[in-house]
Amino acid sequence: EIVMTQSPATLSLSPGERATLSCRASQSVTSSFLSWYQQKPGQAPRLLIYGASTRATGIPARFSGSGSGTDFTLTISSLQPEDSAVYYCQQDNSLPPTFGGGTRVEIK
């Protein structure tokens, strides 16, 4: 199965700063099969980005995704207090679908 590795494990930034989250796959992933999710404590994950770069319905424009092959990035252009959460990447290029271990974003 494809192993997804996310870095850093934790990111601590101030409001208004730019957050850059990395996701690396153990094998090449077709971009259209790479997604990002946001999970807040006690809640279900929420789809943020699919197809590596397409925002899901209702997701603010400060969230953007990029990348190809084995390296993908989620960028939050200007952090807001409500962005405090764990972010997961997920591949669906080959079975079984797999998730990264997550990056926790903390707002100072």
β-pair partners for 42:
none
Q: Which of 33, 35, 31, 101 lies closest to 74, judged by CA? A: 35
Site track 3-42 with another protein (rule: CB under 8 A), x = hit: -----------------------------xx-x-x-----
> How many helices (DSSP H) and strands (DSSP E) are in the chain?
0, 10
Among 23, 88, 105, 107, binds another protein (CB under 8 A): 88
Binding status of residue 44 toward another protein by CB under 8 A: yes
How many of the other CB atoms lie within 10 Å of CB of 67? Answer: 19
The reply to whether 47 sits near another protein by the rule CB under 8 A is yes
Catalog residues that contact another protein under the rule CB under 8 A.
32-33, 35, 37, 43-47, 50-51, 54, 56, 88, 90, 92, 95-102
